Structure 1
Amino acid sequence: MKPTISIGTQSFEYLREHNYFFIDKTDFIKEWWENGDAVTLITRPRRFGKTLNLDMFKCFFSNQYSKREDLFRGLSIWKDDKYRQLQGSYPVISISFSDIKGGTYQDTRDGIIATLAETYREHSHLLQGDSLTETEKQYFNSFEEYSKYPQKENPVTDTTITRALKDLSYFLKRRYGKKVFIFLDDYDTPLQEAYTNGYWQELTSLIRALFNSTFKTNPYLERAILTGITRVSKESIFSDMNNLEVVTTTSNKYTTAFGFTETEVSDSLELMGMNSKMEQVKFWYDGFVFGNRADIYNPWSITKFLDSGELKTYWADTSSNKLVSDLIQQGTPKLKMSMEELLAGRVLETGLDEEVIFEQLPQKKGAIWSLLLAAGYLKIVDWNFDNQTGKYTYYLRITNYETMLMFEEMIENWFSADDTSYSNFKDALLQGDLDYMNQFLSQIALKTFSSFDTGKQPSEHAEPERFYHGFVLGLIVDLADRYHITSNRESGFGRYDVMMLPQSPNDKAYILEFKVFNPRKEKNLTETVQNALEQIKERNYDMELIANKIPKDKIIHYGFAFRGKEVLIGS
């Protein structure tokens, strides 16, 4: 009998009680326990089972589940008597920052207090009996009071927030005589929101103090796990935490604990009567690499496919993609050129620093690729180590077909306009409709340059370059099936801006040259367009196309001229 697929369920207890589809990951508990690390930070892409795994840990270790051996009976961990004795034997604090997504610092601070109040509420049994003094009971209830009435005079100071989990650990230790386990899920969600919304420094100061009190100077802590997408730099929030074991996507610890292995996917397809779909599923969803394991699948996509039987981009999540989209769209021409290579299916060679320093993301070399790797959008296909420099070089590729489609959708969204269609623009470009091209691109340029203007220290001269490389990404996404599109490559006696080499002999070829208006040499944008077209001829950019047997009469030249937010196209 096929098991029921419960989509989106993140409760281990609920899945086991209802005998819903579940892939046994309890060996993760054994591996972590045997490693003996005091505080473990594990980073994995979104929707890779982090929340479900931590809930499984809570059900296994928490003394509130001491009589729930039924949840683990039949699973791998229950075969070992040692772990049967361990189940349900510790006080556990389980907390998640996944819902803390405030647009302002105050909103996020309130969200942290509300989350702490919920955590205290889960341990309200401590209020019964005499294990707490009356003063401690008032303190216990202060989080609940403020989370309900945040507009009142604030009874929760920063010191109270930063000590909250340490104090709760103390209360639990005093009640049960054992140190506590703390499991914190999605620790970096509010930090990403803080960076995106401009209150990074305020929040990191608070989070740093909270983490220091909870995970470093907490004498009532037995062991802890934090999970998230990114490894936020130690200097930002983990300063002086020498007891922290960091496990990223390049680490060889816990490689099969998150996500499904190919064997698990194959067995699941067989269970659901879908054996014949394995090759298609592999093409769409395989490709994630954790440490030395290169056969990891996104569990969200797999469970959605098992439920629906349809091959789709289930992993899409616009809110999670916003930071990545903004960084690429507003990034340098070099960054966009690297994206062109990746979208064309080629490998990117780069250095990596897995510690994400958010305030350095726009400037630090390789930072964006580290973020994309951590988020699961890219995978490492190879690497080498230079003995002389002591540095690693990594070779990255887009993870799989589903991820490729997500990038394409993200780039298409850059060019969405209320009254016009980018698809129509591409048709106009191929048909030589200059009126439509000018109308559409003027709107897009205005919108795009305005977004650059909101960034830090925008450069008037850099904007056209950033714009046209973003524009090339849009062409690559939608015309890759008809054209081999390249930019900034040598041909003839110089480097062209964009070349479109047709894959069919029936299609024309195109060369696009972009120029910024020069008031010392040109009277208007019309002259700038003509200078762009003359440059194509003088430097013989057609040479590469002619070498590919494209007739001269099938090569079309376009000149794009920029003056601030004005654009003019001619041919």
Structure 2
Amino acid sequence: MTIKEAAAAWGITERRVNALCKAGRISGAYKEGRQWFIPDGTQKPMDKRGRRSTGKPAVSSARKPLPIGVSDYRDACKNYYYVDKTLMIKEFLDERPKVSLFTRPRRFGKTLNMDMLRTFFEKTTEDTSVYFRDKKIWFCGESYRVHHRKYPVIFLSFKDVKYTSWEETYQTLQKLIAQEFRRHDELASSSALSNYEKEEYSLLATEAADEVEYQMSLRTLTLLLHKHHNVAPIVIIDEYDTPIQQGHVSGFYDTIIGFMRNLFSGGLKDNPHLSYGFLTGILRVAKESIFSGLNNLKINSILDERYSEYFGFTSDEVREMAEYYSASDKYQELCDWYDGYRFGNAEIFNPWSVIGYFNNNCRPKAFWQSTGSNDIIREVLASATPDIMERLELLMKGESFVTHIDTGVIYPQIQNDPSSVYSFLLVAGYLKAVSCDQSYGEDYMCEVALPNKEISFVYSKEILSQLENIIPRSAAIAIQEAIYKADIESLQKALEKFLLQTISFHDAADETFYHGLILGMCAVMDNSYRITSNREAGDGRFDIQMLPLNKRLPGILIELKAGKGRSETQLEDLANVALQQINDRAYSVDLRAMNVTSIIKIGIAFSGKRTRIAAERQNIE
């Protein structure tokens, strides 16, 4: 931070901060020209009596804003609250693999980290040391700083290449590659290049080359940059698999795989004009030979220990952030909602959601859900076998199970091999590995579970919405209205009508069937409620709880009972037993704790296609 920022944060004058810097009283402070710079987060030095309280108090306006959607490293580290991940550079330079692939879920800081690498390594006329002098990497020694501004860098991001046809996708890839050529416009007049090479550069820079030449464009650009700078460049490709996922969803998977295979093979495989390469994505896509013969590729998946703490926030980083924004008392809520991911040996929070939480005045919600398409998880669920659905329901109840995990899972496997769904859900961020043992090759046996409340919400929304296809909209609306009003007679008629129209006698097997049916009814309601099922509350586990997102709506608790061959009187008694269980076991304790002021309690009893209902409304004063 600058002298001005430090003065505002510490509640003293700029002249006083300047004097403290000159006196060597501020650790890590350094001078650039006439301007002093102070490491972010530095505390105000103590006075001679060992106090920091002199001067006017710091005000909240001095806090740096939250980096909502900021992926530019220069902007993030200077103008926003930045969690220092620069030791990733040290870890890389200690190992120096030729090509590194980092696979992580979306919105876990991949783009920001890649831009950090570009800013550090790229040879430029700008003195970019100003972005690192107060960061951890700068204090690691000259052997690391010597790599600063040393290499020409090729940077391509495919994160926004999301089109439904190959023609649009290719046009976009062509434009992105051409823009990167134009960014290196020093090549157009380079004395180190031949006229033929300059002409080749011009064709690629002006989008006049053909598809084959663009497939070889990485090879071409690394050669030209190497000749001009006399230093082999670094290649960074961010979110390389985004267009591949889109190709899978939209039907041009084989075509995009062919293009990417040739692009990466030319630029990264046995290329003497390459210093290092970095790629990020969600999946590895190795089985399609997209990295065919690339024996210099170092894969860093979510199950590998290297670089485990650099994507996402660690617990210490979240605690520090909570303290900075005066929300230390919210740490446990942050854990419940956004912690739980495990990358290698590090426990990780979802960074996008943590930032969203602070920006939302510390009110939790599923921020991550809205950051991208859930098409793939919908495809997973659409092709899920009954065994898979049963396991997914176990996850929603907070349980775990052991399964085979292949970190090289590819999109077509979702359709061809239903058991691969757990591998995809893990690498995409919808599961966490509670424990993991590598069995052979890149395959693992892992105990998996849902990471946190946020992902539980995503599962509830996406999994339960699968039932919408078997529930007529008119029936759903009638049942919803009756539930809202606690209208026992209307609810009973609507349910019986639906059961008579849609299920056979044999379908009505047990309580589990009816549970799924009612849960589906609730799920296709609008976004007025957050629905949970089979969760502990009070002295037991409720069947269904509906937490209103609008406090003016009532909370709803539903308990289900089923029995074969029951008489009307026995059904009524069973419905009353279900209602009494809600009261006896204090299932309403969670809703009351969340300040819900009105609670509708519903006991439903089923026998074949007949049903009886008991209900009551409780107003909380």
- Which residue in the other structure is 2:82 paired with? 22
- Which residue in the other structure is 1:302 paired with? 354
Q: Aligned partners of 2:334 and 2:442: how far apart in 1?
A: 39
After superposition, the Cα gap between the structure-2 partners of 1:52 and 1:437, relative to the gap in structure 1 and judged at 3 Å, is farther
- Which residue in the other structure is 1:76 paired with? 136
After superposition, the Cα gap between the structure-2 partners of 1:480 and 1:54, relative to the gap in structure 1 and judged at 3 Å, is closer
Q: Aligned partners of 1:384 and 1:348: how far apart in 2?
A: 14
Unaligned runs of 5+ in 2: 1-8, 10-62, 504-512, 536-541, 546-556, 581-602, 614-621
2:199 equivalent to 1:138 = yes
Matches within 5 A, 1:337-356: 337-356=390-409
Cα displacement (A) at 1:263? 0.3
Instruction: Return the letter of the residue paired with 2:117.
Output: F
After superposition, the Cα gap between the structure-2 partners of 1:435 and 1:85, relative to the gap in structure 1 and judged at 3 Å, is closer
Q: Aligned partners of 2:284 and 2:104: how far apart in 1?
A: 9
Match of 2:606 among 556, 560, 569: 556
2:108 equivalent to 1:48 = yes
TM-score (norm 2): 0.70
Cα displacement (A) at 1:537? 4.9
- Which residue in the other structure is 1:189 paired with? 242
Residue aligned with 2:146, SS: helix
2:281 equivalent to 1:228 = yes
Instruction: Return the letter of the residue paired with 1:406.
Output: V
- Which residue in the other structure is 2:67 paired with? 6
Instruction: Return the letter of the residue paired with 1:300.
Output: W
Contact 2:385-2:418 at 8 Å conserved across structures = no
Instruction: Return the letter of the residue paired with 2:338.
Output: Y
Q: Aligned partners of 1:60 and 1:376: how far apart in 2?
A: 29
Cα displacement (A) at 1:356? 1.5
Match of 2:520 among 470, 474, 485: 474
Instruction: Return the letter of the residue paired with 2:152.
Output: P
Instruction: Return the letter of the residue paired with 1:509.
Output: L
2:569 equivalent to 1:509 = no
2:266 equivalent to 1:213 = yes
Contact 2:475-2:494 at 8 Å conserved across structures = no
Q: CA RMSD in A?
A: 3.9
Contact 2:406-2:443 at 8 Å conserved across structures = no
Q: Aligned partners of 2:90 and 2:336: how far apart in 1?
A: 32
Cα displacement (A) at 1:219? 1.6
After superposition, the Cα gap between the structure-2 partners of 1:78 and 1:196, relative to the gap in structure 1 and judged at 3 Å, is same
Instruction: Return the letter of the residue paired with 1:400.
Output: N
Summarize deviations over 1:415-434 as a string: whole Å, max 9, x none.
39996584754676983334
Residue aligned with 2:358, SS: helix
Q: Aligned partners of 1:559 and 1:357: how far apart in 2?
A: 44
- Which residue in the other structure is 2:507 paired with? none
Instruction: Return the letter of the residue paired with 1:556.
Output: F
Higher radius of gyration, 1 or 2: 2
Summarize deviations over 1:300-354 as a string: whole Å, max 9, x none.
1112222332222111137431111122134222222221111111113211111
Cα displacement (A) at 1:143? 3.6
- Between 1:326-335 and 1:48-57, the stretch displaced more is 326-335
- Between 1:91-100 and 1:415-424, the stretch displaced more is 415-424
Instruction: Return the letter of the residue paired with 2:92.
Output: W
Residue aligned with 2:260, SS: helix
- Which residue in the other structure is 2:186 paired with? 125
2:322 equivalent to 1:269 = yes
**Identity over the aligned pairs, expressed in percent?**
28
After superposition, the Cα gap between the structure-2 partners of 1:501 and 1:271, relative to the gap in structure 1 and judged at 3 Å, is closer
Q: Aligned partners of 1:420 and 1:64: how far apart in 2?
A: 64
Contact 1:231-1:354 at 8 Å conserved across structures = yes
Q: Aligned partners of 1:484 and 1:290: how far apart in 2?
A: 29
Q: Aligned partners of 1:357 and 1:267: how far apart in 2?
A: 38
Summarize deviations over 1:98-117 as a string: whole Å, max 9, x none.
11112111221112111111
- Which residue in the other structure is 1:410 paired with? 462
Cα displacement (A) at 1:289? 0.4
- Between 1:320-329 and 1:406-415, the stretch displaced more is 406-415
Match of 1:283 among 315, 332, 336: 336
Cα displacement (A) at 1:380? 0.9
2:419 equivalent to 1:369 = no
2:167 equivalent to 1:106 = yes
Cα displacement (A) at 1:292? 1.2
Summarize deviations over 1:197-256 as a string: whole Å, max 9, x none.
111111111111111111103220111110011121333412211111111100011011
Cα displacement (A) at 1:360? 1.8
2:85 equivalent to 1:34 = no
Contact 1:15-1:22 at 8 Å conserved across structures = yes
- Which residue in the other structure is 1:116 paired with? 177
Cα displacement (A) at 1:258? 0.7
Residue aligned with 1:225, SS: strand
Match of 1:159 among 194, 209, 212: 212
Unaligned runs of 5+ in 1: 147-154, 446-466, 486-499, 513-535, 561-568
2:454 equivalent to 1:393 = no
Residue aligned with 2:364, SS: coil
Contact 1:208-1:238 at 8 Å conserved across structures = yes
Residue aligned with 1:276, SS: helix
Contact 2:515-2:543 at 8 Å conserved across structures = no
Cα displacement (A) at 1:386? 7.1
Contact 1:66-1:87 at 8 Å conserved across structures = no
After superposition, the Cα gap between the structure-2 partners of 1:473 and 1:371, relative to the gap in structure 1 and judged at 3 Å, is farther
2:152 equivalent to 1:91 = yes
- Which residue in the other structure is 2:588 paired with? none
Contact 1:331-1:362 at 8 Å conserved across structures = no
- Which residue in the other structure is 2:384 paired with? 331
Q: Aligned partners of 2:290 and 2:516: how far apart in 1?
A: 34
After superposition, the Cα gap between the structure-2 partners of 1:232 and 1:472, relative to the gap in structure 1 and judged at 3 Å, is farther
Cα displacement (A) at 1:383? 3.6
Contact 1:428-1:437 at 8 Å conserved across structures = no
Summarize deviations over 1:361-398 as a string: whole Å, max 9, x none.
123253111111111111011245779x9974321111
Cα displacement (A) at 1:133? 3.4
Residue aligned with 1:393, SS: strand
Instruction: Return the letter of the residue paired with 1:53.
Output: N
Residue aligned with 1:257, SS: coil
TM-score (norm 1): 0.76
Residue aligned with 1:352, SS: strand
After superposition, the Cα gap between the structure-2 partners of 1:24 and 1:129, relative to the gap in structure 1 and judged at 3 Å, is same
Contact 1:117-1:143 at 8 Å conserved across structures = yes
Q: Aligned partners of 2:500 and 2:134: how far apart in 1?
A: 62
Q: Aligned partners of 1:69 and 1:554: how far apart in 2?
A: 68
Q: Aligned partners of 1:345 and 1:476: how far apart in 2?
A: 20
After superposition, the Cα gap between the structure-2 partners of 1:358 and 1:236, relative to the gap in structure 1 and judged at 3 Å, is farther
Cα displacement (A) at 1:475? 6.0
Cα displacement (A) at 1:555? 3.5
